[in-house]
Structure 1
Amino acid sequence: MTYKHTKTLDTSKDFILPCRKDNLQTIKDFLPIAKPDFDGSFSTHQLLYGSQGNRIYLIGLGEEKHSAQLEKTFQKLAFDTQKYWDKSIQVYAEDLTEDEVRKAVIGLEMAQYEIGEFKSKKEKQHKITISFSSTKSVKKILDEGKYTGETINKIKGLVDAPPNIKTPEFLGNWAEKSAKDAKYKCTVLKHKELKKQGFEAVLSVGKGSVNKPVVIINEYNGKTSKKVDIALVGKGITFDSGGLSIKPSTNLHYMKSDMGGAAVVLGVVELIAKLKLKINIVGIVCSAENAVDAESYRPGDVINSYSGKTIEIIDTDAEGRLVLADGLSYAVKNLKPDYLIDLATLTGSVVRTLGYEAAGMFTHNEAMAKTMSDIGYNVHERVWQLPMFEEYKSDLHSDIADLRNFSGKPLTGATNAAQFLESFTEDHENWMHLDIAGVSFGSSPYAKMKSASGYGIQLITEFIKEKALK
């Protein structure tokens, strides 16, 4: 898709006419009939024909409560109708705010996502130019929306990719190409360097796979100072068999999605670089494949970690917290960021707690929690704070190591995982853990099987944008 700004709407050509619920009066001058069978309900659209035989698509923006997810109505319109569009189409944007224009572009771009990347025969998409007509200058907003939509599509492609292709090394190659295109620095640490630097937990998780682990360090410096404002750490388990604590076969094929946190980190760094924000961020992705082999780590083992703390392995299927522990320790020791955020598809517990509508948020910083929560509602990538009570910490006790990786109890699993991670943050005042297991991957109206949602790109980018303004 190509997006451009025009000041006037050519009513003799095809155009999209946004309308709020029960508010057709504002667009009556563009309607070819007085009373179309349309009320502007959210995520609905209606096709009319103009006097020149041109198509007029009425698109429902719904009520004020739908503003946070405006991109969805544009995504649905494009998904359903773009096969009928010619080489160009217009959007009447005079009555849209800048945020609404941005969301419209994100939605139109998201409709371009091709989930059938690995099919032998693919439908050929034709290039379309979309003109937003407004007397206000919206060029910068159009670019931001396009970059954001493209990034969401790219990370969805990563999460949906099959594990025989999407190995840890593949993620490293993806990051290196992204860094070259978007002009930021990427370092990929491989087996020998991981051993040298002491990423022992990452190495332990990856021991059972022929596809060796990597740690990806992406650095974007938008300021002249060297101070790291925000460090992001992502769980990059490219396939999770559960290891020797093997998972049941039901839905095991979906464990290709266990690198959803890593995908967000990779995507956000690329997007921030494209937006050229005045902020310094580092994205760290700890990637491994949790497989079963004679060399696999075992329940009962005691392993080391980047921090120097020893960990008793109770369950090899609690592997995500192990790789994150090394990533967090690296960030705290070497980067000393003002803010430290990790993202991971970490626990089934958070899904049982919050379902598929919000990520679990864990932090002791209430101001940071409120900021992230407010942003989550504004972009419809919601988070919900869960407790980190001191009493829960006894579940991490080990008689033979500094701590254990799994409590073995059926309760408070998401909190136990968060408190395990907290043990590797050196009590960082501005640390936050986001458990995105329920929101990163799931059912979609655009696929018959479960697929990636793209959750997290807007949430984290908007948080970074807010900090960049200060």
Structure 2
Amino acid sequence: MTVVDPDLLPAQVSPPEFALTASLPHQVGGAAVWAFPVLPGDDGSVLLGPGADEAAQALGVDLLATLDATRATGATAEVTAVPVVSDRVSLVLLVGVGEQRPVDFRRAGAAVARATKDRPSVVSSIPAIAPEGGLTAFVVGTMLGSFSFHWRSTGPEERPVGRVVLAALGDDEGVVDDELRRAIALGGAGWRARTLATVPANVKNPPWLAQQAVEMGEAAGLEVTVWDEERLAAEGFGGILAVGSGSATPPRLIRMDYTPRGADRRTPTVVLVGKGITFDTGGLDIKPSEGMLTMKRDMSGGAAVIAAMTALRDVDCPVRVVGLVPAAENSISGSAMRPGDVIRHWGGRTSEVNNTDAEGRLVMADAMAYGVSELAPAVLVDVATLTGAMKVALGQWTGGYFANHEGVAQRLADASADSGELLWRMPLSADYEEKLSSKVADADNAAGGPGAITAALFLRPFAGDVPWGHVDFASAAEAPVDRHEWTAGPTGFGARLLLSWLGSEDPLEGIA
């Protein structure tokens, strides 16, 4: 087997730095770009936001006339670029903010990011007119719209803008500072999840992913524990071992523990489980070649959990959180699991493997059973790129979720709205439970359609009586093109969702 030294992975670009100022853009020296908001007027006209009039006067440019000449409407993320000849700035961006909702500011931020690549700095007053949550949305959009990954001998083709100064924002009490800190944590988690999902599988195997979790977790003040294949076997993690049995690189189970400041024995625990299949061939039930092209990101659920865990302190999460990532490579060899095999999961429940390409639920089941039994959680949420059926049901940009508890369902719905990572609730319908029946085991892992529902029903027993949510975002894990804050490739979906929930004032409201 040819193994690529992980150290050969080139250094990647970093997201922009952010700063605040109460000054208007034209008052900030050394900026390469100024960016102003454009608001739709009631009569079809457009309005310019803070600092634009002063900038126009300083430059001797009629910005409103430019908007009129280009028929600008102020629609969300509409960009009018105005090159200028000045010793103060070289480019002015006029960016539509549409209805001025947080989503409009997130998309405006991404538009600014794309328009300022390879430039040293931009000063913008766009967030100065944002509603509650709009500054966070703008920063997150700017960060994630800047994302790129490369492995070129000549270096990256483009680099994010180096510095983003948020102008016209006074902050006598530090409130805006706190919001900016939280926004950077959310955007950074999305960036880390996207990076992990994008690294190719000739570097990213289960031991490599575990090492990343150790390094990132320890830097964030977390306790990190990793099970190797010997410990997995000794403790009965049969699903993880079976899925990883065909690979030359052994499986791992990653555990990351976060404890909030001031926690005591009464502080409740949340368990997160993220699918960590570092590459999925389908196993002996092999995928067609085109079906494997994106399978380096089949660990996107695990990436979301790892990235979210590292940012919990930055969003002031008030509860204990344990993140579990069962990591394996579903490969093909003489030792690979076979159709018809029966495996015993952690805790004793058995599964008949009638489709080796339904492997994610097998590793998730082990981690869920362990988490419920050993960690006594108040709530359990798993995130996974679990079924192609979810993409058939919901299309490209929306993930699905299931819940056995209305409080969990509401918290996930609220987090989806706040984060911009869209979810749609799916029915956990008992009508299909009979499809899971097996003549030789507790359940069949290949229950058939409706595939997203039967996969959720397969996992449900492993949640026991714990309030549980299951997020299947196979539909949203891969962006085919650049679109708003999404860049073409793995999306890093889930990290912002989890942090929006766990960073809320009371994550367990309505649950415990």
| Shorter-chain TM-score tier | over 0.9
Please point out which of 455, 463, 479 is paired with 1:442.
479
Q: Which residue among 238, 246, 270 is the counterpart of 2:278?
A: 238
For the 8 Å contact 2:117–2:159, the answer to whether it is kept is: no
Task: Tell me the alpha carbon deviations over residues 173-222 of structure 1, each in whole angstroms, 9 at most, x when there is no partner.
Answer: 00010012111111111111111211111101101001100000000000
Kindly state the Cα deviation for residue 150 of structure 1 after the two structures are TM-superposed: 2.0
Whether the 8 Å contact between 1:15 and 1:92 is mirrored in structure 2 is no
How big is the shift at 1:8? 1.6
Match of 2:419 among 372, 379, 383: 379
Identity of aligned residues (%): 28
Q: Deviations over 1:354-386 (max 9, x none)?
A: 111321111121232133223313332121111
Match of 1:341 in 2: 381
Query: Aligned pair 1:78/2:113, yes or no?
Result: yes
CA distance in 1, matches of 2:214, 2:443: 35
Match of 2:364 among 304, 316, 324: 324
| Cα shift at 1:36 | 3.0
Corresponding residue number in structure 2 for 1:157: 195
- For the Cα contact (< 8 Å) 1:341–1:434, is it kept in 2? yes
Q: 2: CA distance between counterparts of 1:436 and 1:264? A: 11
> Residues of 2 paired with 1:10 and 1:435: CA distance?
43
Aligned equivalents of 1:111, 1:450: Cα separation in 2: 10
Whether 2:163 is the aligned partner of 1:129: answer yes
2: CA distance, partners of 1:92 / 1:241: 45
- The reply to whether residue 464 of structure 1 matches residue 502 of structure 2 is yes
> In the alignment, what sits opposite 1:224?
263
Whether the 8 Å CA contact 1:98–1:141 is kept in 2: the answer is no
2:484 equivalent to 1:454: no
Query: 1:87: Cα distance to partner?
Result: 4.5
Q: Structure 1 residue 36 and structure 2 residue 36: aligned?
A: no
Q: Distance in 2 between matches of 1:216 and 1:122?
A: 32
Cα pair 2:271 2:323 within 8 Å, conserved: yes
Seen in structure 2, the aligned counterparts of structure 1 residues 58 and 204 have a Cα distance that, compared at 3 Å, is: same
Task: Give TM-score, length-normalised by structure 2.
Answer: 0.85
Q: Which of 91, 103, 106 in structure 2 is aligned with 1:68?
A: 103
Report if aligned partners of 1:184, 1:273 keep a CA contact under 8 Å in 2: no
CA distance in structure 2 between the partners assigned to 1:452 and 1:285 by the alignment: 18
2:6 corresponds to: none
1:124-170 CA deviation, whole Å, 9 max, x = no partner? 74873322221244112222222222221111111111111110011
Whether the 8 Å CA contact 1:172–1:216 is kept in 2: the answer is: yes
Map of 1:394-413 to 2, 5 A cutoff?
394-407=434-447, 409=448, 411-413=449-451
Q: TM-score, normalised by structure 1?
A: 0.92
The 1:25/1:316 distance shift into structure 2, 3 A limit, reads closer
Partner of 1:24: 47
Deviations 1:330-361 (A, max 9, x none): 11001111110001100111111111132111
Distance (Å, rounded) in 2 between the aligned partners of 1:39 and 1:277: 40
Q: Which residue of 2 aligns with 1:353?
A: 393
Alpha carbons of 1:215 and 1:304: their partners in 2 closer, same or farther (altered >3 Å)? Answer: same
Q: 1:402 offset after TM fit, Å? A: 1.3
Q: Which residue of 2 aligns with 1:103?
A: 137
1:290 aligns with 2:313: no
Structure 1 position 449, deviation (Å): 10
Structure 1 residue 45 corresponds to structure 2 residue 79 = yes
Instruction: Provide Cα deviations, 1:284-312, integer angstroms capped at 9, x if missing partner.
Output: 00010001111111111111110201111
Alignment partner of 2:147 out of 98, 113, 121 = 113
Mean Cα deviation higher: 12-21 or 453-462:
12-21
Name the SS for the 1:188 alignment partner. strand
Contact 1:9 1:92 in 2 (8 A): no
Report the Cα distance in structure 2 between the residues aligned to 1:271 and 1:448, rounded to whole angstroms. 20
CA distance in 2, matches of 1:128, 1:113: 12
Which amino acid in the other structure matches residue 56 of structure 1? V
Q: CA 1:205–1:86 in structure 2 vs 1: closer, same or farther (change >3 Å)?
A: closer
Q: Distance in 2 between matches of 1:449 and 1:63?
A: 23
Report the CA distance shift for 1:251/1:119 in structure 2 as closer, same or farther (over 3 A): farther
Partner of 1:250: helix, strand, or coil? helix
SS of aligned partner of 1:36: helix
String of CA shifts for 1:307-335, please: whole Å, max 9, x gaps. Answer: 20111111111100000000100110011
SS class of match (1:439): coil
Q: Which runs of 5+ in 1 are unaligned?
A: none
On the 8 A contact 2:105/2:135 being kept in 1, the answer is no
Q: 1:426 matched to which residue of 2?
A: 464
Which residue of the partner structure matches residue 353 of structure 2? 313
RMSD of aligned Cα (Å) = 2.4
CA contact (8 A) 1:182 1:274 kept: no
Of 397-406 and 45-54, the range deviating more from structure 2: 45-54
Unaligned runs of 5+ in 2: 1-15, 57-61
Tell me how far 1:72 sits from its aligned partner: 2.5
Query: For 2:338, what is the secondary structure of its paired residue?
Result: coil
- Tell me the secondary structure at the aligned position of residue 237 of structure 1: strand
The offset of 1:105, in angstroms, is: 1.4
2:259 & 2:133 partners in 1: Cα distance?
26
Distance 1:438 1:372, change over 3 A: same
Greater alpha carbon shift after TM alignment, 203-212 vs 53-62:
53-62
Amino acid at match of 2:66: P
The question of whether the paired residues in 1 share the 8 Å contact of 2:109 and 2:141 is answered with yes
2:379 maps to a residue whose letter is Y
Secondary structure of the equivalent of 1:251?
Answer: helix
Deviation of 1:234 (Å): 0.6
Q: Is the 8 A contact 2:113 2:161 kept in 1?
A: no
Deviations 1:245-271 (A, max 9, x none): 111112312111111111111111011
SS of structure 2 residue aligned to 1:164: coil
Moved more, 14-23 or 441-450: 441-450
> How much does 1:224 deviate?
1.8
Match for residue 406 of structure 2?
A: 366
The corresponding residue for 1:300 is 340
Q: How many residues get paired?
A: 464
Partners of 2:386 and 2:472 within 8 A in 1: yes
**How far, CA to CA, are the matches of 1:406 and 1:122 in structure 2?**
44
